[in-house]
Amino acid sequence: MLERYKCPVLFHEVRTRFLGNIASPVLGASPMETIKRLWDGELS
């Protein structure tokens, strides 16, 4: 999926970001915000 949608971030970094988001004690941590940041804040 990362290759198909030309994600500029490598898989190991994507995995690390998601695991950090899941383990975060911050209640406002949003997986969708993490996804947006993978493509420099733009979802099309």
| Element of type H or E holding 18 | helix 11-23
pLDDT tens-digit map of 13-29:
989 988 888 887 877 77
Q: Rounded mean pLDDT of the chain? A: 83
Closest CA to 40 of 1, 3, 6: 6
* Phi-psi sector, 7: left (phi>0), alpha (psi -120 to 50), beta: beta
pLDDT band per the 50, 70, 90 thresholds, residue 44: low
Structure tokens, 31: 């997986």
**What is the chain's alpha carbon radius of gyration, rounded to the nearest angstrom?**
11
Question: Mean pLDDT throughout 29-36?
Answer: 80
Give yes or no for residue 4 having a pLDDT over 80.
Answer: yes
Q: Where are the domains of the chain?
A: 1-44
